[in-house]
Structure 1
């Protein structure tokens, strides 16, 4: 009975400890850079023992992964891919992808640009970065698959090359370059990147053949 009574308090305390560790790490990573923050400093900032950091969250790379999880697992991803699947207009597919990637990057901008505009050198952190990029690319591959299904890719453009071009125009580095490095606003960057992506990926013919999901006749537009 006593153990059951106190377990919610222990759970609350554990969550509060984890939150304090992540907040400490986040502030230090952004201020000093991931490589220059030892776990001992994170523990000191969170007012916990070093061992508590490892028990509550894990290694420094695990802390980084936990901080990035809201961006990687953002519901914006599912919203965007659902919208992409629902439209038969190739241009709108690109526009919705630009909107989704813009919102995801903008929402988590300080962490993404602050930590990943330069790939981390530490192997464990590099793996975290690799996993984040892999998830991003998987989402863009779904977009390319939709454009392929709509027979909308430019003549001679393979799906793999289309993925490369979509990453070039709407991947993290595109937003990092225009918004972070060159000072564009997101409102300025989004339509330009979307337009460039449409030009690079889509069939320029005035009549786009679009297969309807129900197998009906193609439409023009």
Structure 2
């Protein structure tokens, strides 16, 4: 019994020593990344979340799950992006290597996000209302109860997107036929919206708020043109 008790104590001491080594290693690696980037962590330090800014100043969160044998086993990683990168890892790798690879991955995704930003800014997007960085589709109101759903290829955002037509009636059939007929006219070097307009052979609908602002500007111009020449105009501050 004494022998068994001694073995249990030795095992407990070894576990404490290993845990202590793990904590020291992780603390050291967090310092290399920067404590200001750490947004969440669990008590045993096996789960960490870091805040990373991309080249355009947008914030992204990468979640890292560490094995107790760290760094022998590669960590599990996740983030709100359309697809994850293949982590390059060795027994000499550290958390800063994960963060650096994630930053490079964010740079690769900039063209994808820029394409979606152009769509959100220029077209009448009805879904999703608040898109997360991982969402790759946009549903656009084309008018006359006709909608198109574009799925952008995150690996090749300038390529011809998948397009689904939603609605019924002659307008939907007309646009669907144009898409099929003009698909080969898509040119990667052209702007995405120019390609879309070329394939559908129609004016693309702008967002309602942009349309409203343009109408207000036009009304102001019309009003100014109707004022008598030479009359002073009061400016209210």
Please confirm whether the aligned pair reaches a TM-score higher than 0.5, indicating the same fold: no
Task: Please classify the TM superposition score into its range, dividing by the shorter chain length.
Answer: under 0.3
Higher relative contact order structure (alpha carbons within 8 Å, sequence separation ≥ 6)? 1
Pick the structure with greater CA Rg.
2
Compare the two structures and name the one with the higher strand fraction. 2
Compare the two structures and name the one with the higher helix fraction. 1
**Structure 1 length as normaliser, TM-score?**
0.27
